Amino acid sequence: MSEKLSKRVFLDVAKRRRITDTVDIGSTKKVLYTGRFTAMSVVVSNDSTSSVWFEIYDGDDKIIGRRNLAANSTWEITEAWLPFYVSVGFNSDVTTTIFTSGGFVP
């Protein structure tokens, strides 16, 4: 592998991020990452025994919207190429709802 190519691969790996978190208090928005971020995959898991709602934000603006998620289920999108310009924010009415995003910092 050429030196130029190996440096490029290293830089690409260094820019990748995985965000996994949940809200601390139900129905209270939480910023999970501040700055530009492009989500390649988004997974929301509901470990609760009842249905929950969740929201995903870019800054103060909702970019995916509000969804309901059945008990003990998962909502997932892959190959999303979903840009966040300000921050990655998440909200849910239950604190056991888990948000995970894999992506990179442009």
Per-residue pLDDT tens for 12-64? 767 889 999 999 999 999 999 999 999 999 999 999 999 999 999 999 877 77
The structural domains of the chain, ordered by start, are 17-104 (2.60.120.220)
Residues in the chain: 106
Q: pTM for the complete prediction?
A: 0.84
Give residue 2's pLDDT: 60
HSE, side-chain direction, 13 A CA sphere, residue 17: 17
Which of residues 64 and 1 earns the better pLDDT score?
Answer: 64
Task: Give the strand pairing for 37-46 and 52-58.
Answer: unpaired
Average pLDDT score over the chain: 89
Helix, strand, coil percentages for the chain (3-state, nearest 5): 10, 60, 30
pLDDT at 8 over 70: no
19 pairs with which residues across the strands? Answer: 101
Say how far apart CA 57 and CA 70 lie, in whole Å. 21
Q: How confident is the model at residue 104 (pLDDT cuts 50, 70, 90)?
A: very high
